[in-house]
Structure 1
């Protein structure tokens, strides 16, 4: 049974729920965001989707902040000793990049919205304060940054998944990190 907190060789329930919940939410945000931007600007469903996208993006950002805090107060499992130095460094770099982008992507979305003169609201119930003044030129730059960082985040996720699969199927069984975050049994 998995405990709430992370342990020396396994992630705890909080980390697992955050990991898989945020992965699903991120995938949904990317799919909906891509679909919504392809709709005609006059299409009423575009505005509805945009509102939902912003609301879930704001939730994602709060979860990312919580995840950063949680990663600092809950001891993480150590990387397997059988990994080479460059593999450990690459893993730490990709993980840091994932955390940075999980915060930067929603922030750039909020900036894009504010620069366009619109607040971000949470399902129309709570409106976040406008922290940036309207500036159409900066809105365009924020949009470019948002899109570029989404692609960077998707690339980092692909590398993250590829690394986990490499350690599971191609490396020494002691390098298998997948059981830490899943219910898979370790390789023997």
Structure 2
């Protein structure tokens, strides 16, 4: 399978970025919820947020790579069975997901650096504080971060359910392209199965 996308499917790099980030976002959301339950004397009270911040910075870098890679590649063609409103909704959803992730991670950065300290990323490197000591910076950024996290997880869930719906109900190639299947051959296979049933 090629690294670059084709008209019929996503390349392995796009698929790897997509699925790894999807799992990471779900994991980060779960980690964030779990961290809220920690007491000051819990052994994970400091380690949990440190892991959350480190993964968040790495995700931000991956997101930049993903956006750059997306713009350097062709985008696989939409399934011909998709209606116009479905195409528009899908494109707007992708834009919204990217925008939400960027905004969420930037808000997280402002929480973590509100006191002027850099973010240590697994002791590999540090990200310095740039804007800090603003009035109620940590609290305001924290509220924004939480709201955006919930919106992101809801929108990502709708996105996933739409993909499952297209696969099992519409029986088109929408999900298959992100699973490494070529949409043209997959489409022919679907047509052949439908014709065989008739």
Q: Which runs of 5+ in 1 are unaligned?
A: none
CA RMSD of aligned residues (A): 1.7
- Offset of 1:157 from its aligned partner? 0.6
Q: Who is 1:166 aligned against?
A: 165
Change (3 A) 1:88 1:159: same
Structure 1 stretches (4+) deviating beyond 3 angstroms?
A: 183-187
- Offset of 1:104 from its aligned partner? 1.5
Is 1:180 aligned with 2:180? no
Q: Deviations over 1:39-95 (max 9, x none)?
A: 013323120111111001100000001100000001110211221111111101111
Q: Who is 2:87 aligned against?
A: 88
Q: Which has the higher contact order (CA 8 A, sep 6+)?
A: 2
Q: How many angstroms apart in 2 are the aligned matches of 1:140 and 1:118?
A: 16
SS at match of 2:103: helix
- Offset of 1:117 from its aligned partner? 3.8
Q: Who is 1:135 aligned against?
A: 134
The count of residues paired between Structure 1 and Structure 2 equals: 185
Is 1:51 aligned with 2:39? no
- Offset of 1:136 from its aligned partner? 5.3
Q: How does 1:15-94 map to 2 (within 5 A)?
A: 15-94=14-93
- Offset of 1:119 from its aligned partner? 2.2
